[in-house]
A and B are shown apart, each in its own frame.
Chain A
Amino acid sequence: LSHGAGGKASRRLIEGLLAPYFNMKDLNDAAYVQADQAKIAFTADSFVVNPLRFPGGSIGELAINGTVNDIAMSGAKPLAIVSTLIIEAGTETEILEAEIKAMQEAAEKANVAIVGGDTKVVEHQKADKLFITTAGIGLVDPRVNLSAGRVQKGDKIILSGPIGDHGITILFARGELDLEADIKSDTRAVWPFVAKLIDAAAPGLKWMRDPTRGGMATALNELARDAKVAIVLEEEAIQVRPEVRGACEILGLDPMHIANEGQFIAVVSKEYADDALKAIRQVPGGEQAAIIGEVHESDRHIVLSRSSYGGTRAIDMLVGDPLPRIC
């Protein structure tokens, strides 16, 4: 198995193996559960990051933000989290304590409670220092109705801010490479933006996703496929910090394939798009949100990116580490 990089390979794993066994129909980041009157969003995610700490964040912080963001992406206000820690025997207490503290701080910031969990210590080399699994629930806002099926021609694609910060930070941290001192992970909880977005544009809000592993390319390709549409992006509207762009250039990477931990994509109907954008921009940290593209009708369910000089490229999902191909 080499399913770590996200994108096509992990999609194949989920759809080929898990979904049939578990009889899952909608493959979303979070599932909906009806509990009496309340609609609950329910999700779980596991975190394996190397290194554990990196500029801008750490595994503990990711474990909280990753899960609260999955809840937020289902249109729900995150309420509570339980967590499981798998600890490799011999891991220093200070390392552990730092991560527990990071989890607590992130939870506080995101306004969720950590209400329980479990820890297991496994033999040396049966884990890599620390793995964290978190599960969370959120209360679905009754005003939202998210479904790829509602996405249609003319809808706008909104992106919450610059992309690529997290993935490039991790890549550099892993290699102890200090090419650009100013890059740090964008890890954060996105619920505050989503809350305002729902207030401003709930009837027009159709789909959301946080483009983590596999980046924007993977998230949008999944949308194109599930909604049976083509997505056309305006490359110049997509914010990429100069440091990240520089790093991508020199590493032969496409920012669209790089992981993010604090951004999200929303599809909003044309009528609500401006209000939605304004709402996100008004929340501190959302100033760089932008409309980056549009949904088109097509029997090719693909993602295209237009730029003024580069022409129109088809943006594919990431298969793994991209291989050199320029002759």
Chain B
Amino acid sequence: MIRLTLSSRTLSHTFLPDTAICDDCLRELFDPTSKRYLYPYIGCPNCGPRYVLMTNLPFERKNTTMAEWEICPSCKEEYEDPQNRRYHAELNCCPDCGPNYYLTVNGERYEGEKMFRRVAELLKNGEILLMKNNGGYHLVCDAFNKEAVQVMRDKLGRPRKSFAIMVKDVEAAKEIVHLSEKEEEILLSKKRPILIAKSKSEELSSIIAPNNPDIGLMVPYTGLQHLLFHFGSPRFIVMTSANYPGEPTIHKDDQLTRLLEDFQCAVLIGEREIERSVDDTVLKVTKLGAVPFRRSRGYNNLLNITLPSSRPILTLGADLKSTITLVKDGHVIMSHHLGDTSKYGTQLKFERAVKDYLNYHGVALSDTIIGHDLHPEYFTTKFAQTLEGYRHVAVQHHKAHLASILALKNKLSEPVVGVIFDGAGYGEDGEIWGGEIFVGSVQEGFARRGHLRKASLIGGDAAATFPLQALAGFIGDFDKELLDRLQLPEPFPKALKIKEKNIRTFPTTSVGRLFDAVAALTGFHLDNSFEGEAAIGLEYLAGQSPIVEEVYPFPWTGEELDYRPLFEEMIQSRLKGTSPSVIARGFHRSLAQAVVDVITALCKEYDTNYAVLSGGVFHNSLLVSDIFDLLKGTNIEIFYDDEAPLGDNCISLGQAAILSAMNND
């Protein structure tokens, strides 16, 4: 049985995270005298998959998908010998007794070294490969092969979104991205996330991450991945999870049918079953720490914090980047990224996760306080209502954003000023919030102290799809002649009409839409083919203009951030012919200044030195770095946690923190 010590208490058993292959195993993998020479399923008590294989707790072989493989006498001996480094290696196996890999391509089957050589050959020839990794299937191809990547884009319906790539080692990584010491450390950490780092290679960026200042990359975390490179696969390969947009990653062999029909490609199949799919973690280092965009593999675990609660708490998070959190005896177990619950496959995955979290930890639903978002139409809200818990509590979205950071910092009673900027969340007044300023503490509760001046969300979610439509929601009331001079294409004129007739037009304080609007004003007239596309493009555009040449007024009135003067001057600047990148750069600085003005004023008013920034908007490293620069010399400290998700992955944790602060008897 695995025992985890936490503070003075112990939680007898819980999920273990999946970690990268260790150095000892890696050495054996390439040692011809080792019995596990070139054996992809090599592992030891210190490394390898865990959570993705578990069928129950505690973590013992019989409670994993390894149960169906009978251990051979030699492996058993290692398992039982306290002197052996594989003593109590639950998944212990070797080529004689364990599962193996095989490749099928055009009806032919390859194994062993021939298999790896064939894979390398295929990839070098620009073919696409489906490959089973620890937590699910990946689609793989040569990252520098334009045609191959384009085929991937066409078949997945993913026209512009970036692909993560895998490189052999840090040396290779340094050829394509800039790496700080901290970034290098993260890249090589046992958790092995996908690291978003600043691109060095325009050629590669133009293929895998157009209009994006960064490249997402990782180094091998399984024996299999090391073997690919060892046998001569291309040095830079796309390694993207095998799923259609929004759908869960495929992890069962029998789910491959549709992908195989579409791709007609080779498949590298591992015989060991995966119990549940866990996506790769994606994170980026900014001044707010190593911020996870997607908190997943390696991070699904017991958190190193406690939340006092007399009853178990289960919280269901948000809808698009869903996670769940379970609090038991004060211990906090936060799930990996479960995904976009508008997709049925994700709904099943989500429901399964809830069941597993409760069952494996022996928590009775009837005794549990269920937390969910305030949004009445979230799948997770509706699902919460089907759970027969002790009590249900709805938590406002942006308050959960704020509380999650404070929970991770263990600052539950500290009064702070919170600035929460994201795309959309359901507000306490039934309106769509997303540019929120709070004061208060988790313990005493937060009060909404201000917000972005209300704009119009024209066509509801359509405004999140079409940045030009978002723009109409900000400047639609401006002088008609001025708007005409901007000559903005459809859907801008249509959106103006819809707004004028007040059809499907919602008041919103969304800063996410503000970014979309500014992106549209500076030339991004496409639709958002993935979440944040316009905003990422705007940060990229701003990066083309390293010096701040213009700053625009964005006044804090004491109650709201008034974007009207901001847009008036940006429009004038555009009409004067100022380069879009100068405007984009100026916008970032202006918003940073506005945030700093708010924080400074409210910290003074409420007599605190602490502020928190959260919400997906703060993934923008330029904005964050401007804010930190502008705060230099003041006594204000921004609370952040190195591993705190700023996006909606954090919501379940924030909900749990807020619920734990309530009287739960």
Contacts and interface: CB of A to CB of B under 8 A. Distances in A.
B244 A253 contact: no
Interface string B331-370: 0000000000011110100000000000000000000000
Contact of A325 (B461, B495, B501): B461
A327 B320 contact: yes
Contacts of A176: 501
Contact of B377 (A253, A310, A323): A323
B426 interface: yes
A257 to B, nearest CB: 12
B510 to A, nearest CB: 9
Interface stretch (B178-186, B417-425, B552-560): B417-425
A258 to B, nearest CB: 12
B504 A321 contact: yes
A253 B648 contact: no
A143 interface: no
A176 B498 CA distance: 10
B425 A327 contact: yes
Contacts of B343: 311-313
B321 interface: yes
B67 to A, nearest CB: 27
B425 A250 contact: no
A98 interface: no
A250 B494 contact: yes
A321 B465 CA distance: 18
A174 B321 CA distance: 37
A310 B246 contact: yes
Contacts of A179: 494, 497-498
Contact of B344 (A171, A309, A313, A319): A313
A115 interface: no
Contacts of A311: 244-247, 343-345
A68 to B, nearest CB: 31
Nearest to A254: B461
- The SS class assigned to the A binding surface is loop
A229 to B, nearest CB: 15
A310 B423 CA distance: 21
Contacts of A327: 318-321, 422-425, 434, 512, 531, 616, 647-648
A312 B255 CA distance: 14
A302 to B, nearest CB: 8
Contacts of A326: 320, 423-424, 461, 464-465, 531
B377 A249 contact: no
B464 A177 contact: no
Interface residues of A, number: 28
Nearest to B243: A311
Contacts of A313: 342-344
Contact of B462 (A171, A175, A251, A308): A251
B462 A250 contact: yes
Nearest to B342: A313
Given A179-B497, A311-B345, A325 B157 contact: no
B460 A324 contact: yes
A250 B503 contact: no
Contacts of A319: 376-377
Nearest to B247: A311
Nearest to A327: B423
A179 B491 CA distance: 10
A310 B506 CA distance: 26
A283 interface: no
B375 interface: yes
Interface in B236-280: 244-247
A174 B531 CA distance: 33
A4 interface: no
A304 interface: yes
A102 to B, nearest CB: 26
Most buried by A among B424, B465, B504: B504
A252 interface: yes
B432 interface: yes
A251 B497 CA distance: 11
Contacts of B48: none
Interface in A83-129: none
Contacts of A174: 503
Contacts of B491: 250
Interface in A138-183: 171, 174-179
B157 A312 contact: no
Nearest to A304: B344
Contacts of B157: 308-310
A314 interface: yes
Nearest to A319: B377
B476 to A, nearest CB: 14
B466 interface: yes
B102 interface: no
Nearest to B495: A250
26 contacts: A171-B503, A177-B501, A178-B497, A179-B498, A249-B462, A250-B462, A252-B459, A252-B504, A308-B157, A311-B244, A311-B245, A311-B247, A311-B345, A313-B343, A314-B379, A319-B377, A323-B376, A324-B424, A325-B319, A325-B378, A325-B424, A327-B320, A327-B321, A327-B434, A327-B647, A327-B648
Given A323-B506, A325-B426, A327-B318, 6 more contacts: A175-B503, A251-B498, A252-B459, A325-B375, A327-B319, A327-B424
Interface of A: 171, 174-179, 249-253, 304, 308-314, 319, 321-327
